[in-house]
Amino acid sequence: MNTSANAKPAATHSGLRALRRLWIFEDHQCFCELLSDFLETIPGIEIVGKQDDEARLFEAIDAGQVDLVLLDLHLRGAGGFHVMERLRQRPNPPPVLILSGQATPHSLSRAMSLGAVGYLQKTAPLSEIVPALEAIRSGGSYFSEGALRQLSPRVAVGSTPSYVSEMNPREVDLLSRLAHGATAKELAADWELSRFTIYKLRTVLMRKIKVVNQRELMAYALRNGLLDPSLVR
């Protein structure tokens, strides 16, 4: 986050808890430490976690120790959407504020469909975290200027882009993980399925999105905001 942006609250969300205890779910250590150091200068904010460890995050959430998750979308392995899917399966999950290096109509719609209360680009200044927290604390949502530019009548809060409507959540997760290089062995272990089942799911997915190889799959994921552009050579 390093350039200025004029952002404003968007749709409202009710029932949010006091935003005091934050978990930073980020796999870029330097950015994570920078963000943590900045947040700790804000009165009343406590960083209860700053690692991309799902097991520890869920353990802290189940213990009632997390008020807000700051989540990077482009994580090694499963990716941020996978984390959001798993969060939704827990009782009374904390709200999620997205931190991402890019904002596309598809990534915004996907994040909002999974319940994100805000979307900040990493090109925005760190100080933009402050009004974002204030907006969320008051029951609103917050989108940085770059994210707002991607919103249109076709990508409104609560809407679903075409690629999401064509795929179920498992397929969206599978697409993101395959694009980021997850192997059938890794997916089989994570989902407790056989490798044969993973291969079958992959075949069905590739037919559905009309791609025939890994390069085309990555290109499709990139166009739809499900792949970190820095990983494409």
Predicted pLDDT of residue 89: 85
Q: Is residue 161 a part of any domain in this protein?
A: no
72 vs 76, which has greater pLDDT? 72
- Mean pLDDT for the chain? 78
The order of strands in the sheet holding 46-49 is: 8-9, 142-143, 118-121, 96-100, 68-72, 21-25, 46-49
Predicted pLDDT of residue 199: 93
**Structure tokens of 58?**
């869920």
Residue 224: which CATH number?
Answer: 1.10.10.10
Residues 23 and 81 in one domain: yes
Sign, Cα dihedral of 37, 42, 46, 48: negative
Candidate from 12-26, 44-58, 60-74, 122-136 with smallest mean pLDDT = 12-26
- What is the C-alpha separation between 173 and 211, in angstroms, rounded? 17
Predicted pLDDT of residue 147: 64
- What is the C-alpha separation between 25 and 97, in angstroms, rounded? 10
Rounded to whole angstroms, what are the CA distances from 159 to 19, 37, 105, 106, 164?
27, 36, 11, 10, 10
**Residue 17 pLDDT > 60:** no
- What is the C-alpha separation between 21 and 39, in angstroms, rounded? 11
Give yes or no for a contact between 54 and 101, defined as CB atoms under 8 angstroms apart: no
Q: Which domain holds residue 22?
A: 8-150
227 vs 68, which has greater pLDDT? 68
Q: Which among 116, 150, 184 is the end of a domain?
A: 150
Adjacent-strand bridge partners of 21: 46
Residue in the structure block whose two tokens are 């120790």: 65
**Residue 229 pLDDT > 70:** no
Q: Which alpha helices (DSSP H) does 53-168 contain, by range?
A: 54-62, 80-88, 105-113, 129-137, 145-150, 162-166
- What is the C-alpha separation between 117 and 199, in angstroms, rounded? 35
How many structural domains are present in the chain?
2
Adjacent-strand bridge partners of 9: 142
pLDDT, mean of residues 73-95: 82
pLDDT, mean of residues 63-80: 84
- What is the C-alpha separation between 64 and 61, in angstroms, rounded? 5
Residue 67: which CATH number?
Answer: 3.40.50.2300
Cα-trace Rg, the chain? 17
**Residue 154 pLDDT > 50:** no
Q: Is residue 156 a part of any domain in this protein?
A: no
Rounded to whole angstroms, what are the CA distances from 1 to 75, 118, 130, 143, 170?
17, 15, 13, 14, 31
**pLDDT digits over 19-55, tens only?**
789 999 988 888 899 999 999 998 889 999 998 888 9
**pLDDT digits over 179-190, tens only?**
878 888 988 988
Q: How confident is the model at residue 198 (pLDDT cuts 50, 70, 90)?
A: very high
Q: Is residue 1 a part of any domain in this protein?
A: no
Q: Is residue 38 a part of any domain in this protein?
A: yes
pLDDT, mean of residues 205-213: 89
pLDDT, mean of residues 121-139: 85
- Side-chain half-sphere CA neighbours of 97 within 13 A: 30
Q: Are strands 8-9 and 142-143 parallel, antiparallel or unpaired?
A: antiparallel
Closest residue by Cα to residue 129 from 50, 42, 57: 42
**pTM to 2 decimal places:** 0.60
